[in-house]
Amino acid sequence: MKRLREKEREEQLQLLENLFDYLPIAAKVKDVNNDMRYTIWNKKAEELFECSGKEAIGKTDFEVMPNAAKLIRGEDEELVRTGISQSGIRRFFTNKNEERFTFQNNNLMTFSDGRKWIVYTAWDITDLKIMERNLRLAKEEAEESNRIKSAFLANMSHEIRTPLNAIVGFSSILATDLTEEEKTEYLNIIEQNNELLLQLINDILDLSKIEAGTLEYVYANIDINKMLSEIEQTTRLRLTNQNIVLRTVMPMSECLLYTDQRRITQVISNFISNALKFTTEGSITVGYDMPENGYVRFYVADTGTGIPPENIKKIFNRFVKLDSFKQGTGLGLAISQNIIKELKGEIGVESELGKGSIFWFTLPYQKMDAHLAIIA
């Protein structure tokens, strides 16, 4: 009779194992009367916990999951003591260090002969939890973007009003009796504020075009040395600080690129404008390096105040102004990043606080004959 019962139990256990293997969730069964050793470990459990049933059955958690065994044993003992089902979300890492999330449920089963089992089921909710996390991060980023944009719009009234007030005010003064020296000084002030106002408007328009995907690019063969010489001449006209030396480095006698000259000039000019704002003495160097690995690297280096390490990562974000007392929209570097990305290059900055910064970008380089047109 005893052998018959044992045979029936084995047959029932085999039937349960087969049923559990068809479940779409991980399922494990422990025998409370046998030191919480596993008696069933289905196929989904093998996949989820990277352990075969043959390795797990007949063993405890201290042998199968040593890192979490103490916590699991505590939960098992509480379940046996109270009989109250347990459920919750678990986070763990696989042997390949992949993050996983499960929703688990532990239940106590008591049989008529006094045997007790703990039935553990787990749903793999990794995709759901990661999607939830990404949505939360996206929401936080959107809220932060809206906050920054609101602050930017509030600041724009001040940024636009400042040059307008100067233009209107000094234009009115010009109508009065003034010496030639005063007229020249006031005209210079008006011209400077005209340029500032135009730059503010251009930045806003460019940003709108970038967001709408309508910023235009016109490709052509351009002479890089000639372009840098023109930028140098324009910068010297803006450079009023006699304590700053402007240098241009052109290591090649001839450098031709097939790209958009207007956009490249815009990026370099943005870099120079930043350098002029934060450099009171020393030098500003504009140039490019010898082509390497199919790319040419352009840079603007200064000996200015530098950038705090915690701000370097966000320097190319939209609406970011590291110094609220400096004029500007905080859009120039963000626009530059979009331009270089569109031109298939990379952009970055190296800086040391108190010693200066190097803003750089790369562009694909292909040696070309000046007399040949390249079709993109």
**Each residue of 175-217: pLDDT tens digit?**
787 888 888 888 888 887 887 788 788 887 887 888 788 889 9
Task: List residues bridging with 101 in a β-sheet.
Answer: 91
For residue 244, pLDDT over 90 is answered with yes
**Cβ(288)–Cβ(249) under 8 Å?**
yes
Helix and strand numbers, DSSP H then E, in the chain: 11, 12
Neighbours of 109 (CB within 10 A): 11
Nearest to 330 by CA among 341, 317, 342: 317
Q: Which pTM was predicted?
A: 0.56
Take residue 376 and report the two structure tokens written for it.
Answer: 């993109």
Determine the Cα–Cα distance for residues 304 and 281; give it in Å rounded to an integer.
Answer: 7
Instruction: Report yes or no: 116 and 32 within 8 Å, Cβ to Cβ.
Output: yes
**What pLDDT score was predicted for residue 372?**
44
Output the pLDDT for position 371: 42
Q: What digits encode the pLDDT tens for the residues 10-24?
A: 666 666 666 777 778
d(Cα 373, Cα 371) in Å, to the nearest integer? 7
pLDDT at 254 over 70: yes
